[in-house]
Structure 1
Amino acid sequence: MSADSAMREVVSQAYAQRRDAWESAAVRIKHWLKQQQKGLLKNKDISRLDVDGHRIKDPARTLAKLVEKAADDPDLRVSTPQDVENHIRDIVGVKVLCKSPRDQKMMFDSLTDPQQLGAFALIEQKNYVDPPKPSGYRACHVTLQIPSDQGEPVFAEIQVKTRLQDAWGELTHEDMYKPGAAMKPSELHGEFARAMANMLATVDDMADTLAVELSALTNPDLDTTVPSAADDTIEVKVRATGPKYALAVDGDGRQGLIPAFAVRKLSDSKGTIKVNDFISVDDRLRATVEEDSKGLYYIPMALP
């Protein structure tokens, strides 16, 4: 039996013996990622992060990667199913799609923080955003080791991409760049793919800038001071809080923002604060009303 044939047999054994464990691990990772999503985006737009399913790598691609590794390393030995998993650690893959590069960095930082991982172990992290791969590919990859009740722990790769980075793969047939691909990209194809990647990265950066500008509206630079007891005030009830603002509603059902600068003045704090350190959901506050072309704001007289 040739070396390639022997390796093909071991790969087949690995898939026959371990596929159920891989599938179970993928489901567990997705559930955990959804909890991460809720934790990172509490009181915010949950669609900024989307756990986009999973895949088990095609056996032919696993074999192709092993053959390539063996060609580069004559001492590489693959004789057991466990050897297959030890050498190819992205057989289980899960994708997280993000609205913007800021969200991508937030998710990547969370996945590489040992305090957030619990029973999972961080094995490897790769940032292909800065710089990207020569092909133009951009993404963040994190390899984790997941405990399994079906034998040895499972390795899994989580790919964190913006939606536009993921779209680039669809538009350029990213699979053409991978080991064992039936077709290889021409020089012209490569030039177009890199140009498209750069253009989409520019759009991603513009989306980030837009998000920052919109976020700034929640902390406007209003020329106002904390009101005195003599000012006309209304009572508002807090419905949601976050680091930069609280959302409140008045007796007429109008919703407005309590901005960070007003809370900072009342707290006598210096520098940046988090509004939700001082104001909680269901708090009732006396406040004056400020309204301009950007929105409606409630300026509290005192903190709860």
Structure 2
Amino acid sequence: MEQFKRFKEEITRFLMMYKFALDSLETKIEILKEEFHFLHDYNPIEHTKSRLKSPESILNKMNRKGCDISFVSIRDKIKDIAGLRITCSFVSDIYRIREMLRSQSDLTILETKDYIEHPKPNGYQSLHLIVEVPVYMSDRQEKVCVEVQIRTIAMDFWASLEHKIFYKYNEAVPLRLLQELKEAADSAAALDKQMERLHNEIAEIKENHEASEIAKTKRIIIKDQEYQIPAALLEMIDIGQGND
């Protein structure tokens, strides 16, 4: 009984490290999201979703790998015990978020798998990162791995439905269905490209309009005649306001 109690405490403490790593990473993502929105009036992150593997799932994966069952072995062999999925609007957002994570001095990206540049044969697309996160326990610091998946809404929609279609499907999938799923993935990728092009064009129109509005503020109209305000006069106005 005492041995079981000790084991339960050990596995609870072990999984808590991964929960804390997820909490820390989600806090960072939230800060980056708010900062980006404040500076650029745009939010690259639609939503996030985190998960922890259950002890049963961890043991099953270790058995499939044929590994020894120990906490040291589990930490060494399984890098996706903690997982964070980040869903974006556009493909460019995916790589922007990766760079935002890379710029964090206390995070280390240990591994990158780019299934956008190199999609899986079935059409799956996503950017997978293994990120090492520092976790500060009461008596020590631990470096814990978290798998981060970054994908667009279209990629996430396809992946979620593909998983539901094949969940617990043990028989060979007909070739026709595999081809249709691949075509659906190609359609999702084409939609991503089209929507990003539209987004960029609209952003350019908005930028040109704002530039035009700024230019108008540097002109005055007297008796239907438009005059450009000299730069030196604008500078004097700025100086005067500064003295106030």
TM-score, normalised via structure 1 length: 0.61
Q: Report the CA distance shift for 1:142/1:214 in structure 2 as closer, same or farther (over 3 A).
A: same
Greater relative contact order (CA < 8 Å, ≥ 6 in sequence): 2
Match of 1:137 in 2: 124
Check the 8 A contact 1:52/1:95 in 2, yes or no. Answer: yes
TM superposition shift of 1:169: 1.5
Please say if 1:117 is aligned against 2:117. no
Give the distance between the partners of 1:12 and 1:137, measured in 2 at CA.
38
Match of 1:55 in 2: 51
Give the distance between the partners of 2:165 and 2:97, measured in 1 at CA.
25
Q: What aligned pairs does 1:120-199 form with structure 2 within 5 A after superposition?
A: 120-150=107-137, 152-173=142-163, 176=166, 183=170, 186=173, 187-199=175-187
For 1:82, the aligned partner's letter is V
Ranges in structure 1 where 5+ consecutive residues have no aligned partner: 1-10, 71-76, 221-255, 263-284, 290-298
Greater percentage in helix: 2
Q: Report the CA distance shift for 1:194/1:15 in structure 2 as closer, same or farther (over 3 A).
A: farther
Q: Report the CA distance shift for 1:172/1:124 in structure 2 as closer, same or farther (over 3 A).
A: same
Check the 8 A contact 1:258/1:300 in 2, yes or no. Answer: no
TM superposition shift of 1:138: 0.6
Q: 2:72 aligns with which of 78, 82, 106?
A: 82
Check the 8 A contact 1:128/1:137 in 2, yes or no. Answer: yes
Please say if 1:204 is aligned against 2:192. yes
For 1:209, the aligned partner's letter is R
Q: 2:35 aligns with which of 26, 36, 39?
A: 39
Check the 8 A contact 1:38/1:46 in 2, yes or no. Answer: no
Q: Report the CA distance shift for 1:142/1:97 in structure 2 as closer, same or farther (over 3 A).
A: same
State, as a whole percentage, how many aligned pairs show the same letter.
Answer: 19
Match of 1:21 in 2: 17
Match of 2:211 in 1: 258
Output the aligned Cα RMSD.
3.2
Check the 8 A contact 1:33/1:51 in 2, yes or no. Answer: no
Q: Report the CA distance shift for 1:260/1:198 in structure 2 as closer, same or farther (over 3 A).
A: farther
Corresponding residue SS for 1:153: strand
Q: Report the CA distance shift for 1:211/1:131 in structure 2 as closer, same or farther (over 3 A).
A: same
